[in-house]
């Protein structure tokens, strides 16, 4: 660092510390969101987006814009966006993904006509925003595989004026991207392992599709973010919890891998009382996969799997209640009697996933039922506040209705 001035050296040292903190994040989506946030902060960029590779396309994962965020009420988020476009040279991000080289544009509205790419003004027109400087760079994992593209917009000087991204900014971003590779690699491996485990569950239970678990996971994260704002939960605590919740929610029904096909795939007639009791055992089977718990992630996965069917009011339809996992045997299959578990004794993660899971089940067709309308599904959740569901979780859910609907559209069931 001898060739750098003192300020640059200090910022490079800060980047190393930031990159080290990224290594604690386990969910790939949470990590990508954090990388976008930190990249913007490092070079004081007003806005930005991150796109991930899906086949031959780039799909937007997150968008951030401080100017637009300031126009919203506290606790609100920017609209949930979802779109994809081809990896080719016609768009700025597509060009960077194809060439895998960074691109620094001083003025988006004055790109030379002889370049293969041009700036798409549609987003600016829609949001009444003006994009000027753009810096776009590829995001790679170890071995050079392209994971996605980050685009940051409108660098700002100390007085808040929009300026081009400087050579120093390019240097800082390059160092940060290099430092984040190890965290990206670790989260990517974790993500791949989670997908394999969930694919196994999908093979066993045709109702437990990957889009379903992705929606439940995304719903749960959005509900928690609003719940955390409503309750003033400290930022550091939020960041750690949402990372664990995003993964844990995906395993809510993983215990169904241990249920007999005769019961699991039965459509009509519906379950006998004995079959229903065996089916309820999926909560214990799922929890046993994470017991003994050796990490915070194990604990939240166990809590969600075990208690996402318990009722807030302790009603009879809730299960399994307070139960000793050692008393459950998959060979016997029957769910043992447990004490009632209700209210705040139910882990928060399970209370959140309960709302997300039921809403998604109601609003989608299953082999044993037709889908409910979106409004009917929302109303059922609202009407069950204080009985089936934690009323404060339902309150958070009701405040993010637009984002829930956007997630429904962004993650449809596959045919």
Residue 264 near residue 235, CB atoms below 8 Å:
no
d(CA 218, CA 222): 6
**Is the predicted pLDDT of residue 2 greater than 50, yes or no?**
no
User: Phi/psi at 159 (nearest 5 deg)?
Assistant: -95, 0
The mean per-residue pLDDT over the stretch 343-361 comes to 98
Per-residue pLDDT reduced to its tens digit, 26-54? 999 999 999 999 999 999 999 999 999 99
CB neighbour list of residue 295: distance below 8 Å, 6 or more residues apart: none
Neighbours of 115 (CB within 10 A): 12
Residue 359 near residue 219, CB atoms below 8 Å:
yes
Categorise residue 343: left if φ over 0, alpha if ψ from -120 to 50, beta otherwise: left
Per-residue pLDDT reduced to its tens digit, 314-336? 999 999 999 988 888 877 767 87
Q: Compute the C-alpha angle 266/270/273, nearest 5°.
A: 110
Per-residue pLDDT reduced to its tens digit, 170-194? 999 999 998 888 899 999 999 999 9
d(CA 188, CA 221): 19
Per-residue pLDDT reduced to its tens digit, 136-155? 999 998 788 899 999 999 99
Per-residue pLDDT reduced to its tens digit, 221-268? 999 999 999 999 999 999 999 999 999 999 999 998 888 888 887 766
Task: State the pLDDT at residue 369.
Answer: 65
Q: What share of the chain is helix, strand, coil (3-state, %, to 5)?
A: 50, 10, 35
Per-residue pLDDT reduced to its tens digit, 43-92? 999 999 999 999 999 999 999 999 999 999 999 999 998 999 999 999 99
Task: State the pLDDT at residue 6.
Answer: 76
**Is the predicted pLDDT of residue 278 greater than 50, yes or no?**
yes
What pTM was estimated for this model as a whole? 0.93
- For 53, the 3-state DSSP assignment is strand
Task: State the pLDDT at residue 4.
Answer: 65
**Share above pLDDT 90 across residues of the chain, in percent, rounded to a whole number:** 74
If we measure between CA atoms, which residue out of 93, 103, 91 comes closest to residue 51? 93
Neighbours of 387 (CB within 10 A): 13
């Amino acid at each position: 660092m001898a060739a750098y001035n003192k300020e640059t050296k200090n910022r490079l040292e800060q980047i190393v510390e930031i990159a080290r903190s990224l290594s604690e994040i386990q969910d790939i989506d949470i990590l990508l969101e954090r990388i976008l946030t930190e990249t913007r902060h490092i070079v004081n960029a007003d806005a930005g987006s991150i796109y991930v590779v899906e086949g031959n396309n780039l799909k937007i994962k997150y968008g951030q814009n401080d100017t637009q965020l300031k126009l919203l009420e506290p606790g609100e988020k920017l609209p949930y966006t979802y779109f994809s476009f081809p990896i080719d040279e016609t768009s700025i991000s597509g060009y960077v993904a194809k060439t895998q080289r960074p691109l620094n544009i001083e003025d988006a509205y004055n790109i030379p006509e002889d370049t293969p790419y041009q700036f798409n003004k549609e987003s600016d027109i829609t949001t009444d925003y003006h994009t000027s400087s753009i810096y776009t760079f590829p995001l790679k994992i170890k071995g050079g595989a392209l994971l996605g593209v980050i685009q940051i917009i409108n660098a700002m000087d100390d007085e808040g004026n929009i300026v081009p991204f400087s050579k120093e900014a390019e240097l800082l971003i390059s160092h940060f991207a290099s430092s984040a590779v190890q965290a990206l690699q670790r989260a990517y491996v974790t993500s791949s392992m989670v997908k394999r485990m969930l694919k196994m569950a999908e093979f066993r239970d045709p109702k437990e599709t990957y889009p379903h678990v992705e929606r439940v996971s995304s719903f749960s994260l959005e509900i928690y973010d609003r719940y955390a704002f409503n309750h003033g939960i400290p930022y550091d605590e939020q960041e750690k919890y949402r990372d664990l919740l995003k993964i844990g929610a995906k395993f809510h029904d993983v215990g169904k891998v241990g249920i007999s096909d005769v019961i699991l795939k039965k459509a009509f007639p519906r379950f006998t009382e004995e079959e229903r009791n065996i089916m309820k055992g999926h909560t214990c089977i799922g929890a046993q996969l994470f017991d003994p718990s050796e990490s915070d992630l194990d604990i939240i996965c166990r809590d969600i799997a075990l208690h996402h069917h318990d009722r807030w009011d302790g009603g009879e339809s809730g299960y399994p209640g307070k139960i000793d996992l050692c008393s459950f045997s998959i060979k016997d299959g029957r769910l043992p009697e447990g004490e009632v578990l209700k209210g705040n004794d139910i882990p928060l993660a399970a209370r959140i996933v309960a709302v997300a899971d039921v809403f998604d089940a109601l609003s989608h067709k299953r082999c044993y039922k037709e889908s409910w309308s979106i409004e009917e599904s929302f109303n059922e959740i609202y009407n069950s506040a204080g009985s089936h569901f934690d009323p404060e979780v339902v309150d958070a859910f009701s405040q993010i209705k637009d984002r829930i609907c956007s997630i429904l559209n962004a993650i449809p069931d596959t045919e």
